[in-house]
Amino acid sequence: MSTFRFRALEATLSRQPVETTAPAELISDYFGENVFNQKSMMEFLTEEAYESVMEAIEQGTRIDRKIADQVASAMKAWALSKGATHYTHWFQPLTGRTAEKHDSFFDPVGNGRSIERFEGDQLVQQEPDASSFPNGGIRNTFEARGYTAWDPTSPAFIMGGTLCIPTVFVAYTGEALDYKAPLLKALGAVDEAAVEVCKFFDKNVTKVNATLGWEQEYFLVDAALFNARPDLVLTGRTLFGHSSSKGQQLDDHYFGSIPDRAAAFMRDFEAEALRLGIPVKTRHNEVAPNQFECAPLFEEANLSVDHNQLVMDVMEKTASRHNFRVLLHEKPFAGMNGSGKHNNWSLATNTGVNLLSPGKTPKTNLRFLTFFINTIKAVHDHADLLRASIANAGNDHRLGANEAPPAIISIFIGSQLTKVLNDLEAEVKGGKMTPDQKTDLKLRVGRIPEILLDNTDRNRTSPFAFTGNKFEFRAVGSTSNCSSAMTALNTIIAKQLQTFKKDVDAIIQRDKVKKDEAIFQVLREYIVSSKNIRFEGNGYSDDWVKEAEKRGLSNVKTTPYALGAYLKEEVLSLFEEFNIMSRVEVEARHEINLENYQMKIQIESRVMGDLAINHFLPSALRYQNQLIENVQGLIAVLGEEAGREAGAASISLIKEVSERVNTIRKAVHDMTEARKKANAIEDMEAKSKSYCDAVIPFFEIIRYEIDKLELIVEDDLWPLPKYREMLFTR
Ligand code: ADP
Ligand code: MG
C-alpha cells in the first residue's frame, strides 16, 4: 500500500475512543445557559430595559440609545459572570458561513489600570472592513466601508469565551451585504400581509411569525482519511473514487444503530448546541453509510436560521475533537445519497395558531384553506425564484440526480387534500351561492381535520410537500444558509397574501357578497390557476420530466442558468416593491452567486487535473511497469512465444492502462484549455456558463477512466483512501 495511504489508515485504526464531554445532567438544567435569553435578561436588566427589548423582539420596535447602554452593561455583566473575555458582532456575509472579529472587553484607563468596557455604542454598531467580503461590485460603485448592526430579535450568546452579538451586515451606503438583512425584511413583509388576511378570521391577530424547522444532513469521515484526500480537503467532495462493492444497497444504515464513535460526537455537539439554546431534538442515521441527520424543534425563522448557522459551526469544531471531519457538502460521494437541508415552514400567529394547521370549526378550516391555497399559488407563480434561491454548485449534483427532488419545482399535498381542492373547484361557482351550496361547502370544509387525522401520505420525491401542518421545502442544499430560500419563500407569500386580500375585497365590493363567499370564490380561482404545480406522483421518474415539460414547468438543472431568475423584471420589482432588496442589491447578489459557482468549479477542475496527473497517472504507470517486467521475465524464462502466451493477462492490462492513461492525459489537457477560454471571459454570467457547459463535461470523462484504473491497479500502489475505507472504517 502506498505509504501515504497506509499511514492514514493506520492512524485511523489505532485511534483510542474519545471520551464524550457531554454533561451527565438533565438537558433542561443546562439548555440555553450560554444565551442571554429572557431568563438572564430578567436577572440582569432593569425592568424598563427588559420591556423595551421584549417589545423589540415581539413587535419589531426600535431600541433607543439610552436603553442600548443599559442592555450593553447588562450583557457585559452576564458575559463576565460566565468567564467571557471578548465580544464580537456575529454576522452572515455572502460567503455562506458566519464571520466574527473578536475584541477584548479589556480597556486600559491609564496609570497601569484597566477596566472591562462594553457600551451601547459597541453593542449597536461596529465597522468591520467590508472590502474582503463578497460584495458583487457594490464596493466599486460605492464605498468600501461597511457596518454591522445589532439584531435584538436573536439573542446574544457565548461561544469559546466570546460574547457573540447577532448582527446584520450592510455597506456604508445601506446595501445589504449579508443574508440576514433581506431575511428580516421578508419576515416583516409576510408578517404584515398575513396579519391583514388573518383579520378576515380573527381581529385579535396582530403579529404573524414565519416558523422554520430545518433538518441538517451530513457525513462523518475520519480526519486522517479526510486529510489523505486532497479533493475532500480542497473541495469538500470526492472528485474520484470507484463505488465500494457494498454501498447503501442493503439499506442497512438508515435508522440503524448509531456507531459508538459517531454517537459520542453527536452527544458532544448536541450538548454544546443545547447550551446555546438550540433545541436539537432528533438524530438518526441517514440512507448512505456514515451519513446522519440532526433536527431541532422549529422556531421563529430568523432565530432558526441563526441556529442552523451556529450548529454547522459547532459540528465542525466538535468533529475535530473527535478526529472526525464533518462533510456538509451536498454530494461528497458519487453513487451515494447526497445531503440536503429540508426547510419545514409554516406561519404562526401571536394568538398561538399555526395557520397551516386545520382547526376544529369550518371557520378555522377556511382560514387553513386560505393559507394553504395561497402558498400553492405563490409557489406556482414564482417557482423559478424558489429554484434560484437554492442554486449552488453542490446542489446541482442532487437536484434531478434520482435521489433528491428534481430541479422541477412542484408541490405534493396528498390525495385527501387533492380531493378537497378538486371538490372546491367543482362546487364553487361565480356569483351568489345558494343556501344549499353554502351548507354543503361548510360541511365539506368542516371535514378537513378528520381527513388530515389519518393523512399519512408522504412523498419523499417532491421538492415542496405538505406534511400535515407545514410545508417542507426539501430541495434546499445541506451547505446552504437557509436565509436564501426563506427570503424568497416569505417574500412570495407576502406578495400572494396581499393580492389575495385585494382580490377578496374587490369581490365583496363588486358582487355585494359576504366575506366567506368571496374568499371561496378567490380560492377557487387560485385552485384552478395553480393546478399545474401540483404533482402527486414519483418526482424521480422520467415520466415526470416529460409531463412537467408538457405542463410548461421549468426544469433548470444547473446553477448559472437557474440564477437567471433573479434578474427577471418581475422578481426585481417584487423585491423592490416590498423593500426587501433594491435592484442593486439583487444584481450584486446574483453576481456573487455566479462568481462563487465559477470559483468552486475552477477549484474542482484544478484539483482534478493535479490529482490525475501527479497522483493517479504515476501510480498507474508504476503498475504498468511491474506488468512489463512480468512479461519480460516470462519471455526470458519461456521464450518469446510461450512467454507472451503465459503473460497474456498482463499484456492486456498493459494495453488497458496505456489507453486509459492516454485518454486521461488528453482530457486534462483539453479541460485546461477550456478553462483558459472561460477565464478570458469578462462577463460573469457568460463565464460561469462557460465553466458549466465547457469545463464540467471533462469531469466525468476523467473520473470514469481513473475509477476504472482504481479497479485494476494493485491496491498497494493506489495513492488515495478508497470509498470502502472512508465509508466503512470505524
Ligand atoms: P419528518 O419530516 O422527518 O417526518 P417531522 O414532521 O416530525 O419529521 O418534523 C420535521 C421538522 O419539522 C422538525 O424540525 C420540526 O420542528 C419541524 N416542524 C414541525 N412543525 C412545524 C411548524 N409548524 N413550522 C415549522 N417547522 C415545523
Ligand atoms: Mg422532514
Tens of pLDDT along 39-71? Answer: 999 999 999 999 999 998 888 788 888 899 999
User: What is the mean predicted confidence (pLDDT) over 238-255?
Assistant: 80
Q: Whose CA is nearest to atom 11 of ligand 1?
A: 213
Ligand nearest to the CA of 341: 2
User: What is the mean predicted confidence (pLDDT) over 77-86?
Assistant: 95
Atom number of ligand 1 nearest to Cα 214: 14
Q: What is the structure's pLDDT at 487? A: 98
Distance 342 CA to ligand 2 centre (A): 6
**pLDDT band of 455, cuts 50, 70, 90:** low
Give the residue from 475, 217, 228 showing the smallest Cα distance to 328.
217
Atom number of ligand 1 nearest to Cα 298: 16
Q: Could you say which DSSP state residue 455 is in?
A: -
Grid coordinates representing 279 are: 433545541
Whether the pLDDT of residue 573 is over 70: the answer is: yes
Distance 344 CA to ligand 2 centre (A): 7
Contacts of residue 491, defined as CB under 8 A and 6 or more positions apart, other chains included, come to 186, 189, 190, 574, 575, 578, 580
User: What is the mean predicted confidence (pLDDT) over 480-495?
Assistant: 98
Ligand nearest to the CA of 458: 1
Atom number of ligand 1 nearest to Cα 348: 23
Distance 516 CA to ligand 2 centre (A): 33
Name the residue of 302, 357, 470, 472 to mutate for ligand 1: max ligand atoms within 8 A of Cβ.
470
Distance 470 CA to ligand 2 centre (A): 10
CATH-assigned architecture of domain 596-726 = Up-down Bundle (1.20)
Q: Cα separation of 449 and 360, whole Å?
A: 7
CATH-assigned architecture of domain 31-178 = Roll (3.10)
Q: What is the structure's pLDDT at 138? A: 65
pTM of the model: 0.95
Whether the pLDDT of residue 415 is over 80: the answer is: yes
Question: What DSSP element (H or E) covers 221?
Answer: strand 208-222
Domain with CATH 1.20.120.1560 in the chain: 596-726
For ligand 1, is residue 278 a contact (CB within 6 Å)? no
**pLDDT band of 392, cuts 50, 70, 90:** very high
Q: Ligand 2 is a single-atom ion; what residues have CB below 5 A from it?
A: 342
Q: Which spans in 612-695 are helix H?
A: 617-638, 640-646, 648-679, 684-690
Q: What is the structure's pLDDT at 104? A: 92
Contacts of residue 234, defined as CB under 8 A and 6 or more positions apart, other chains included, come to 603, 607
CB-CB contact of 79 with 87 (8 Å)? yes
User: What is the mean predicted confidence (pLDDT) over 140-161?
Assistant: 83
Domain with CATH 3.30.590.10 in the chain: 187-581
Q: What is the structure's pLDDT at 325? A: 97
Distance 694 CA to ligand 1 centre (A): 41
User: What is the mean predicted confidence (pLDDT) over 213-238?
Assistant: 97
Tens of pLDDT along 171-222? Answer: 888 889 999 999 999 999 999 999 999 999 999 999 999 999 999 999 999 9
**CA-CA-CA-CA dihedral for 27, 28, 32, 33, to nearest 10:** -90
User: What is the mean predicted confidence (pLDDT) over 384-401?
Assistant: 93
Q: Cα separation of 325 and 318, whole Å?
A: 9
Q: Which residue has the cell 414564482?
A: 382
For ligand 1, is residue 295 a contact (CB within 6 Å)? yes
For the domain 187-581, what is the CATH code? Answer: 3.30.590.10
Atom number of ligand 1 nearest to Cα 467: 6
β-strand pairing of 464-466 with 411-412: parallel
Look at residue 300 and give its three-state secondary structure. Answer: strand
As a whole-number percent, the residues of the chain with pLDDT over 70 amount to 95
User: What is the mean predicted confidence (pLDDT) over 86-112?
Assistant: 90
Q: What is the structure's pLDDT at 569? A: 97
Name the residue of 254, 298, 489 to mutate for ligand 1: max ligand atoms within 8 A of Cβ.
298
Contacts of residue 16, defined as CB under 8 A and 6 or more positions apart, other chains included, come to none
For ligand 1, is residue 345 a contact (CB within 6 Å)? yes
CB-CB contact of 501 with 196 (8 Å)? yes
Q: Could you say which DSSP state residue 286 is in?
A: -
Distance 397 CA to ligand 2 centre (A): 20
Look at residue 493 and give its three-state secondary structure. Answer: helix
Distance 317 CA to ligand 1 centre (A): 26
Whether the pLDDT of residue 483 is over 90: the answer is: yes
Mean pLDDT, rounded, of the chain: 91
Domain with CATH 3.10.20.70 in the chain: 31-178
Distance 344 CA to ligand 1 centre (A): 6
**pLDDT band of 142, cuts 50, 70, 90:** very low
Q: What is the structure's pLDDT at 525? A: 96
Name the residue of 344, 353, 476 to mutate for ligand 1: max ligand atoms within 8 A of Cβ.
344
For ligand 1, is residue 212 a contact (CB within 6 Å)? yes
Distance 506 CA to ligand 2 centre (A): 38
Give the residue from 126, 157, 149, 166 showing the smallest Cα distance to 305.
166
Q: Could you say which DSSP state residue 35 is in?
A: B
For ligand 1, is residue 343 a contact (CB within 6 Å)? no
Give the residue from 422, 372, 97 showing the smallest Cα distance to 236.
97
